[in-house]
């Protein structure tokens, strides 16, 4: 008898005359429903760490690093002790993706989903891994937000050639995008 995911499993007697050796109670076959539920539970528990790693950006594809940014619509970003707070409505902004190529001493960059902005490349970079690299700025610096990454965090460009940005966590960016209308006031 097939069982649905939410359908109650009915115990089935294993066979006539089969009893538990100590209690003399009839043996009950657990059936496919219980096995299916156990495997679904195991699958859900196994996928939980993977989902968490994806949401926190601990796992990246092909060594790429994506920086999620936010805009402060109708307000300004705080400074000093209030750094990171928005006085208006926080809105999801661009996603900047970087791929560090250690063998070539290059870093490729592009804005995810924006075909109007060209991709670019930094050459002559010092690349330790995808989360730690430093490149000399060039004429393409204005197309991206940084030319240095330390422990996966983009460093502000002291020369002023790169665009200014406000980086936020991936889960926060996804939440802002899901809400579709931004979030009032501070973080």
The tens digit of pLDDT for each residue in 131-179 reads 899 988 777 666 788 889 999 889 887 777 777 888 898 888 988 988 8
Lowest mean pLDDT among 41-45, 55-59, 134-138, 150-154: 55-59
Q: Tell whether 19 and 68 lie within a shared domain.
A: no
> Is residue 3 one of the residues assigned to a domain?
no
Q: Tell whether 148 and 77 lie within a shared domain.
A: yes
Query: Taking residues 91-106, what's their average pLDDT?
Result: 91
Q: Tell whether 99 and 163 lie within a shared domain.
A: yes
Contacts of range 118-125, beta carbons closer than 8 Å, 24 or more positions apart? 118/143, 120/144, 122/147, 125/100
Q: Tell whether 91 and 179 lie within a shared domain.
A: yes
Whole domain around residue 113: which residue ranges? Answer: 61-184
- pLDDT tier at 184, thresholds 50, 70, 90: low
With a pLDDT cut of 70, the percent of the chain lying above it is 71
**Residue 104 has what pLDDT?**
92
> Is residue 4 one of the residues assigned to a domain?
no
How many domains does the chain divide into?
2
> Is residue 137 one of the residues assigned to a domain?
yes
Distance CA 87, CA 74 (A): 8
Task: Please classify residue 134 by burial: count the beta carbons closer than 10 Å to its beta carbon, then call 0-12 exposed, 13-18 middle and 19+ buried.
Answer: middle
Q: Judge whether residue 127 has pLDDT over 90.
A: yes
């Amino acid at each position: 008898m097939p069982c649905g995911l939410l359908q109650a499993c009915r115990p089935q007697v294993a066979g006539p005359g089969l009893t538990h050796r100590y209690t003399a109670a009839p043996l009950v076959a657990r059936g496919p429903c219980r096995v299916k539920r156990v495997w679904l539970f195991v699958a859900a528990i196994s996928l939980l760490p993977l989902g968490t790693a994806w949401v926190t950006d601990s796992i990246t594809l092909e060594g790429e690093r994506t920086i999620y940014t936010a805009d402060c619509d109708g307000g300004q970003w705080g400074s000093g002790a209030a750094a990171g707070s928005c006085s208006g409505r926080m809105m999801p902004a661009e996603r900047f993706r970087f791929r560090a190529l250690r063998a070539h001493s290059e870093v490729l960059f592009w804005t995810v989903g924006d075909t109007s902005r060209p991709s670019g490349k930094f050459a002559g970079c010092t690349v330790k891994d995808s989360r730690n690299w430093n490149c000399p700025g060039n004429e393409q610096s204005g197309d991206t937000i940084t030319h240095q990454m330390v422990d996966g965090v983009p460093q502000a460009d002291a020369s002023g050639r790169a665009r200014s940005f406000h980086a936020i966590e991936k889960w926060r960016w996804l939440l802002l995008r899901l809400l579709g209308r931004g979030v009032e006031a501070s973080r």
